[in-house]
Amino acid sequence: MDATTIDGTVRFVPNRTQSWLGRLFDWKPFLVFLCMLPTIGLLVIFLTYPLGLGLWLSLTDTTIGHRGDYIGLENFWSLYDDPVFWGAVWYTIFYTAVATAGKFLLGLWLALLLNHHLPFKAFIRAIVLLPWIVPTVLSSIAWWWIYDPQFSIISYVFVNVLHLRDTYFDFLGAPWPARWSLIVANIWRGIPFVAITLLAGLQTISPSLYEAALLDGASSWQKFRRITVPLLMPILSVALTLSVLFTFSDFQLVYAITRGGPFNSTHLMATLAFQRAIPGAQLGEGAAIAVAMIPFLIVATLLCFFGVGRRKWQQGGDND
């Protein structure tokens, strides 16, 4: 017992020894780990395990109903000589590049338009979000109906209303019309994400900068190039990378509309992986195609970190 003197009065204060459990909960690193434990558990169950299982399956000849044996890189070597796989790789890159460019050009134009004072601006912003919030499969079925060779509303207008054609459009019957049709549908679906993201960035730019530029006699193009683009670049780079990731790994829209046809011309890597693994029962080969997507996704992620790190974009200067 410890004795303490307060105002001449001797008081005895018991010397309590903290238990090991109390000391453990007072230790900051343990509390941080404890708070992160649920997130770590979810990541292990829903991310690490499926990714590890996919990597293992890509090294085996597993099929549906058969465990399979370890075969090393044979699945990847077989893909090297597979023209359908390389066609899917080529179209995935083409699809991602063209659709992303279209989404960002139209999304930036829409964001600049919505950044002005418009009547019913809040209502218009809500309407703009509709293509993004509608379930992908539902919107894909709607586009499939629009592209239908017999019941297409576009064909009906051109043939039966405007009388500009004698035959209906065959949007999905040939490789290139089908490819461009999918790109148009993807652009339509992705514009709201880009527009709302860039609109949020535009509203962080101080109007005083534009007023100062106007006093200096700057044109609209000069204000856009010297003020809007540099200050918007950090959020633009993040939105661009996310859009690339979403587009590159797209599955629902393509599979619901074309299922990779005609003649495997519209297969993305994701849809081809599914087709080989589930309908084709070749789980190992399908997993190998899915694993082959990882290097592309890593490159896109690195671009995201590069864009976020360029802090001097906010001042229109170069990075250190």
Residue whose C-alpha is closest to residue 11's, from 21, 19, 1, 23: 1
Q: For residues 155 and 163, what is the distance between their CA atoms, to the nearest angstrom?
A: 10
pLDDT for position 309? 52
pLDDT for position 307? 61
Residue whose C-alpha is closest to residue 150's, from 134, 171, 129, 128: 171
User: Domain-by-domain residue ranges, the chain?
Assistant: 82-315
Residue whose C-alpha is closest to residue 251's, from 149, 140, 176: 140
Residue 9 has pLDDT above 60, yes or no: no
Residue 19 has pLDDT above 50, yes or no: yes
pLDDT for position 305? 67
Instruction: Number of helices (H) and strands (E) in the chain: give both, helices first.
Output: 17, 2
User: 12: pLDDT confidence band, cut at 50, 70 and 90?
Assistant: low
Do 123 and 142 contact (CB within 8 A), yes or no? no
SS (H, E, C) 141-198: HHHHHHCCCCCCHHHHHHHHHCCCCCCCCCCCCCHHHHHHHHHHHHHHHHHHHHHHHH
Annotate 166-188 with b (16+ C-beta within 10 A) or e (fewer).
Answer: eebbebbeebeebbebbbbbbbb
pLDDT for position 255? 93
Residue 216 has pLDDT above 90, yes or no: no
User: What pTM was estimated for this model as a whole?
Assistant: 0.83
pLDDT for position 182? 96
What does R_g of the chain's alpha carbons equal in angstroms?
28
Residue whose C-alpha is closest to residue 195's, from 253, 165, 239: 239
Do 106 and 188 contact (CB within 8 A), yes or no? no
Looking at per-residue pLDDT, the higher value among 77 and 44 belongs to 77
Mean pLDDT of the region 233-257? 88
Whole-Å CA distances, 276 to 51, 99, 153, 202, 282: 18, 25, 34, 44, 6
Residue 13 has pLDDT above 70, yes or no: no
pLDDT, tens only, 29-68:
888 888 888 988 888 888 888 889 999 999 999 998 888 8
Residue 84 has pLDDT above 70, yes or no: yes
Mean pLDDT of the region 240-253? 90
Is the bond into 50 cis (omega within 30 degrees of 0)? no
Q: For residues 316 and 313, what is the distance between their CA atoms, to the nearest angstrom?
A: 5
Q: For residues 35 and 27, what is the distance between their CA atoms, to the nearest angstrom?
A: 13
Q: For residues 181 and 257, what is the distance between their CA atoms, to the nearest angstrom?
A: 9
pLDDT for position 7? 53
pLDDT for position 5? 53
How many CA within 13 A on the CB side of residue 248? 21
Do 128 and 118 contact (CB within 8 A), yes or no? no
Whole-number percent of the chain with pLDDT over 90: 41
pLDDT for position 316? 47
User: 315: pLDDT confidence band, cut at 50, 70 and 90?
Assistant: very low
Tokens at 191, concatenated: 């514009």
Residue 241 has pLDDT above 90, yes or no: no
Mean pLDDT of the region 217-238? 85
Q: Which CATH class is domain 82-315?
A: mainly alpha
pLDDT for position 24? 76
pLDDT for position 8? 55
Among 26-30, 192-196, 200-204, 315-319, name the one with the lowest average pLDDT: 315-319
Mean pLDDT of the region 222-239? 85
Give phi and psi for 276, each to the nearest 5.
-70, -35
pLDDT, tens only, 127-185:
888 888 888 889 999 999 999 988 889 999 999 899 888 889 989 999 999 999 999 99
Residue 303 has pLDDT above 80, yes or no: no
Amino acid identity of 112?
L
pLDDT, tens only, 265-302:
999 999 999 999 999 999 999 999 999 999 988 887 78
